[in-house]
Structure 1
Amino acid sequence: MPKVKPVILIVEDEFLLRMDSVEVLENGGFEVVPAANADEAIAILSARSDIHLVFTDIQMPGSMDGLKLARFVRDRWPPIKIVATSGHVRAARDELPAGSVFLPKPYLGAELIATLRDLIGIA
């Protein structure tokens, strides 16, 4: 029986960063679903029940930024883990839902993989 890969939803408005993160995480053993903004992310979350974690940039154009998206995800899909990232702002602990992680940019691919594995609870 094949091992089920954890599914990560990446929400990043910068195309090259999004594609780079997809590649890093796929190479790290995750199934990755990319989204360009919060609206796209919410549509994906509404359509799929297999998302384990949302990895979102904080600063994004559109109806909500990454912090608002994180709170929305926690309210609507409480079991989904959340990792927020930014190279411009730092998220204070009280700005993110409980149990979420902030990972400042730039980060190393290995650091991202280790953070996600730790949060999901896989060795």
Structure 2
Amino acid sequence: MTPTAAPVLIVEDDRNVLDITSFVLESAGYPVLTAMNAEEALLVLAGHPEVGLILTDVNMPGQMDGIDLVRRLRESGNPVRCVVVSGDALHAADRLGDLAPFLAKPYDRRSLLGAVQAALVA
């Protein structure tokens, strides 16, 4: 059983990663919404204020990357929990600071579910 019924919004431009991540979270009982970039994520979030967690990649097409998305949410006062993922751990972690928890790619099922659960109960 998951700690929340609130959806997890996955923001990822790689369709394969998006599908696999969605499958893992859904099979663990999390409702999932998806977006392919930060701008689309903001639109999804506007229509679904019940989102409990955003799991966002750093590198995506568009005007904002995942760190910019989290920063924008914080600056606007949106308290939604976030986890940032990237294959470029050093660069991303430096830019991210303590803005949100970080999960390095590639991640496995166990580390993904652990990061999501930790973020939701933090």
TM class, shorter-length:
0.7 to 0.9
Aligned to 1:58: 58
| In structure 1, C-alpha distance between the alignment counterparts of 2:31 and 2:85, rounded to whole Å | 19
Aligned to 2:93: 92
Q: Which residue identity lines up with residue 28 of structure 1 in the other structure? A: A
Q: Which residue identity lines up with residue 22 of structure 2 in the other structure? A: V
Structure 1: gaps spanning 5 or more residues = none
Identity of aligned residues (%): 34
Aligned residues: 119
Provide the secondary structure at the position in 2 that maps to 1:92.
Answer: helix
Provide the secondary structure at the position in 1 that maps to 2:52.
Answer: strand
Q: Which residue identity lines up with residue 73 of structure 2 in the other structure? A: V
> Are the equivalent residues in 1 in contact too, given 2:71–2:99 (CA < 8 A)?
no
> Are the equivalent residues in 2 in contact too, given 1:70–1:96 (CA < 8 A)?
no
Using structure 1 for the length normalisation, give the TM-score.
0.87
> Are the equivalent residues in 2 in contact too, given 1:38–1:65 (CA < 8 A)?
yes
Using structure 2 for the length normalisation, give the TM-score.
0.87
Aligned to 1:119: 119
Question: C-alpha displacement at 1:100, in angstroms?
Answer: 1.1
Which is richer in helix?
A: 2
Relative to structure 1, the CA distance from residue 4 to residue 65 in structure 2 (aligned partners, 3 Å threshold; closer, same or farther) is closer
1:39 is aligned to 2:43: no
- 1:61-72 residue pairs with structure 2 within 5 A? 61-72=61-72
Aligned to 1:19: 19
